[in-house]
A and B are shown apart, each in its own frame.
Chain A
């Protein structure tokens, strides 16, 4: 016996844990519990990492999350792991439960193990509900408004529940603090304790045997089953990591309580509950919001007492298989129904706010300048990153030129590069004077501060700005304070009009705005899409 073991007993404890005897029928179908514990640990780890760069108050929450996503190295991956890990945990917990249910492993004397498991399932969903608010974007805000409203409509307890959740019918700083407190202070230790109790009960009663196991010799957990658990955990981890690295977690715009058009939806695993609500109107609403969900949880808790028969081989448990199939069918149809009945909003465009969005504040002229800059491949010789120490191409870094040239100088230089800069190997730019003007105007405003916006501007916005400049829209309209005010300023268009309206307006302005002298425009489908997306992203 080693020195350490003599003093702490740790090695003996680990040995006892690993060399547990398990039934000979144990195998791959029993790996889900281990995966769930692993995913819970990943959530705790990535959650702590996120908390290190996160300010848990409305407003700051959104800004700090954007900081994690756009500035902190690896922040996007960590958030991806936490976000997809949550979804995966739900899937794995349900799979674990389904396996135990199908095999009848909840039967005497394992009723308590099963019931602790049901509570763990509810806790897992509570993480999803409270974590949903924490990005404090529009999606989070409106989703939580609906969730807290449901709670407040519960008879008798509703008012108290609503007060417990931090607001009398309003989602604000107190609600946020309550949700954050639940998510990081109360739920994790509760989950930890219940997992410990759950595992203790599994060990106390032993892994549930299948019929026929009593005549076969038992085997050890380590290393055979431990390997199977490890391999399954690894497979889950590979899927999780791939999703975190490849699938972008969206971020909506900052929560806007005045947005009257937002269509709130919960995360995918709550859609079935959301859809259930729709079947019950008026005084019956409580059936969908409280009675049915409570009955479902109660039924799950009582499963071991409802089914007290002999343990059968899994293939002969036809009722159990039927129940699982029915549940799956019901869940799928409710979820699909919720998805297909979600209307597409006609006044919003999906902008990914998890990427830098400083380009939104640029004028159309500056954005179009970016377009010409990209189209003429200026960046192959000129860097723009505003970092003096970074190695530059053959041309000078245009964000860091020591002396700004005049627009006239640039125009000449674009047309006859070598005439203005002797020895320059830059080719002449084949653009019209108006286009060169736009490019020069953009370069004049370029500083190390705003150069970042150049790389971030998405193609649709640049394409739309190019079109906007070509069609001289700025001679009547104003965007971000630039342009004339003969026509209405275009900022805040999303609040005033729908996309359909604007598309029809392009084709025939007079018909929709009597007295308008805006000429009709025929844009290609691509041009329309770009313009609409751009116009509907403009800040108010």
Chain B
């Protein structure tokens, strides 16, 4: 007489439970083993191929204080399996005697291209009317943070631009 029958459970019921358990268990395992690498494949950023480099934007020795100038420079950008050499604008302004800052070309709200308005002396975004002052701070509008800034250094009067950083501070 089978042991299981003594405990009141017929052998066929025990076997059925084992089957069902195995079916659920194995399918869950296989789903996990397939979906975890898939998530990693899609979500983990690919290994960085190239370190960011300094790009020359132009001559800053003749800049007038607090008058932004749009400078276009050539930059290598890693784009998936390609490295694109592309023209990128930056708004460059001399804030102090030795301080030159370069703003990224996109509004911090939703990425529209903004421009400098000479008459009002503000950066204006045409999309949702964000307004930034000459030092990049938000004056009005929906922009959540000041204009993004490139890392900069000046060598022999030439402005070199590094990676773009967004300001952490909130308005």
A residues whose Cβ falls under 8 Å from a Cβ of B: 42, 45, 49, 52-53, 55, 60, 63-64, 66-67, 70-75, 77-78, 223-224, 226-227, 230-231, 233-234, 237, 241, 386, 448-449, 452
Contacts and interface: CB of A to CB of B under 8 A. Distances in A.
B171 interface: no
B57 to A, nearest CB: 21
Chain B's interface: helix, strand, loop or mixed, by majority?
helix
Contacts of B19: 223-224, 226-227
Contacts of B2: none
Nearest to B24: A230
B3 interface: no
Contacts of B120: none
Contacts of B46: 67, 71-73
B23 A223 contact: yes
B34 interface: yes
Given A66-B81, A71-B47, A227 B42 contact: no
Contacts of A386: 51
B20 interface: yes
A233 B22 CA distance: 12
B41 A231 contact: no
A233 B40 CA distance: 24
A52 B16 CA distance: 42
Max chain B Cβ within 10 angstroms of own Cβ: one of A75, A77, A223? A223
A224 B82 CA distance: 53
B37 interface: yes
Interface in B132-168: none
Nearest 9 A/B pairs, CB to CB: A67-B81, A223-B19, A227-B19, A74-B41, A71-B46, A73-B44, A448-B51, A64-B81, A74-B40
Contacts of A230: 22-23, 26-27
A223 B16 CA distance: 7
Contacts of A63: 81-82
A81 to B, nearest CB: 8
9 contacts: A42-B34, A67-B80, A73-B40, A73-B46, A75-B41, A78-B37, A231-B26, A449-B51, A452-B49
A244 B49 CA distance: 25
B20 A49 contact: no
Contacts of B34: 42, 45
A336 B51 CA distance: 49
Interface string B17-33: 00110110011011001
Contacts of A223: 16, 19-20, 23
A224 B20 CA distance: 9
A45 to B, nearest CB: 7
Interface of B: 16, 19-20, 22-23, 26-27, 29-30, 33-34, 37-38, 40-42, 44, 46-47, 49-51, 80-82
B30 A78 contact: no
A74 B21 CA distance: 30
Given A71-B46, A73-B44, A448-B51, A49 B82 contact: no
Chain A's interface: helix, strand, loop or mixed, by majority?
helix
Contacts of B29: 234
Contacts of B50: 449
Contacts of B44: 73-74
Contact of A226 (B23, B33, B41, B80): B23
A63 B23 CA distance: 41
Max chain B Cβ within 10 angstroms of own Cβ: one of A49, A70, A73, A231? A73
B149 to A, nearest CB: 20
Contacts of A42: 34
Contacts of A449: 50-51
A329 B100 CA distance: 79
A49 B16 contact: no
A419 B56 CA distance: 39
B47 A78 contact: no
Nearest to A38: B30
Contacts of A231: 22, 26
A416 B50 CA distance: 34
Given A71-B47, A73-B46, A223-B16, 17 more contacts: A45-B38, A49-B42, A55-B81, A60-B81, A63-B81, A64-B81, A67-B81, A70-B47, A71-B46, A73-B40, A74-B38, A78-B37, A223-B23, A226-B19, A233-B26, A448-B51, A452-B49
A72 B44 CA distance: 8
A207 to B, nearest CB: 18
B80 A78 contact: no
A42 B35 CA distance: 11
Contact of B22 (A70, A73, A227): A227
B10 to A, nearest CB: 15
Given A67-B80, A67-B81, A449-B50, A234 B42 contact: no
Contacts of B82: 63
Max chain B Cβ within 10 angstroms of own Cβ: one of A70, A75, A230? A230
B80 A233 contact: no
A149 B49 CA distance: 40
Contact of B38 (A78, A224, A237, A452): A78
Contacts of B16: 223
A55 to B, nearest CB: 7
